[in-house]
Amino acid sequence: MTNFLRRPAGHPQIYGHRGARGVLPENTMAGFAYLRDISVTAVELDVQNARGRVPVILHDPLLPVAHTRDAQGKWLPAAGPKVIDLTVDALRGYDIGRMNPATAYASRYPQQAPHDGARIPTLAEFLDWAQTWPDLLINIEIKSHAHQPDLGDAPDILAADVAQLVQGTGLGARVVISSFDWRVLSALRQLAPEIARAHLSFEQPGQDTNIVDGGVLMDGLDRADFDGNLPALIAAQGAKAWCPYFGDLTAARLAQAHALDLAVNVWTVNTDADIRAMIDMGVDGIITDYPARVQHQLGVAVA
């Protein structure tokens, strides 16, 4: 086994999703620091470009109503403006440290503690901070919008800008870059093949999926070329990991991936029952909004 993402501790790696979204505001330095406090050594975060090709850590392409206040402390009346249209200085004028209690999104995370004054970090700021934590494994998910290209920079630009920052900080050996838009990963393969890549997938019937054979989000790839074996298709792209929605994973597909030395990191696993099921199945990583819950299921003492 040569893949550094394959169960490095003898049990699934715990990835704090967007830091620890169930505990503290998502994609904030407070959430990332919380992981360090409880000795969780892997993080998943979202990256897109602000104006001027500056990678920033934020999930939505429009400033979200659910957890954004303006400089006067007022909740946004509607989503927006576009992140790609705002400079970093403009983004710093917004507070993302608390959920808007009037939104359905807030009701999903009733235990999330506020952290007023939290700002949208740049990826450069985060990577500088990560250099002080040599044990941290970093999963950078690049957000790209194939069907609405006006919402962000092109896949090759996103790949180049993130890769340049990772290479410049010397953290490449402990970074894996993932995306639902596989064009980003194809570009990254050409630009920086030494940086590990992970293909995200979502295949729930009746819902939006990126797994459409020959489609733009799969970068034109087709499972039929691999006898319908999605892990084999991903492994053939030189990826280190497959990141499926946990509800799409079966023991047979996990075995297919492992036979190819492909790590399998599932998202987003939050209930005790689902966490236990993924541990028992033998996945390599669990991406979760509640990392301490996974620690509990693994019998790991919380710091």
User: Looking at the domain assignment, is residue 8 inside a domain?
Assistant: no
Cα(251)–Cα(33) distance, integer angstroms: 34
User: Looking at the domain assignment, is residue 193 inside a domain?
Assistant: yes
Look up the CATH number of the domain holding residue 158: 3.20.20.190
Tokens of 249: 């994973």
> Would you say residue 49 has pLDDT above 70?
yes
Q: Is the bond preceding residue 77 a cis peptide, omega within 30 degrees?
A: no
Are the CB atoms for 120 and 58 separated by under 8 Å? yes
User: Amino acid identity, residue 192?
Assistant: A
Question: Does pTM top 0.85 for this prediction?
Answer: yes
**Cα distances (angstroms) measured from residue 99 to each of 22, 84, 167, 205, 262:** 11, 23, 34, 30, 37
User: Looking at the domain assignment, is residue 121 inside a domain?
Assistant: yes
User: Looking at the domain assignment, is residue 7 inside a domain?
Assistant: no
Cα(57)–Cα(155) distance, integer angstroms: 16
User: Where are the strands (E) in the chain, listed by range?
Assistant: 13-17, 42-50, 54-57, 137-142, 175-179, 196-201, 241-244, 263-266, 285-288
Print the domain residue range for 217: 13-298
Over residues 64-87, the pLDDT tens digits come to 999 999 999 999 999 999 999 999
**What number of residues does the chain have?**
303
User: Looking at the domain assignment, is residue 143 inside a domain?
Assistant: yes
pLDDT confidence band for 257 (50 / 70 / 90) = very high
Total domain count for the chain?
A: 1
User: Amino acid identity, residue 85?
Assistant: D
Position 221 scores a pLDDT of 98
> Would you say residue 124 has pLDDT above 90?
yes
User: Looking at the domain assignment, is residue 177 inside a domain?
Assistant: yes
User: Looking at the domain assignment, is residue 252 inside a domain?
Assistant: yes
User: Looking at the domain assignment, is residue 303 inside a domain?
Assistant: no
Task: Give me the residues paired with residue 287 across strands.
Answer: 15
Are the CB atoms for 68 and 95 separated by under 8 Å? yes
pLDDT confidence band for 9 (50 / 70 / 90) = confident
| Average pLDDT of the chain, as a whole number | 97
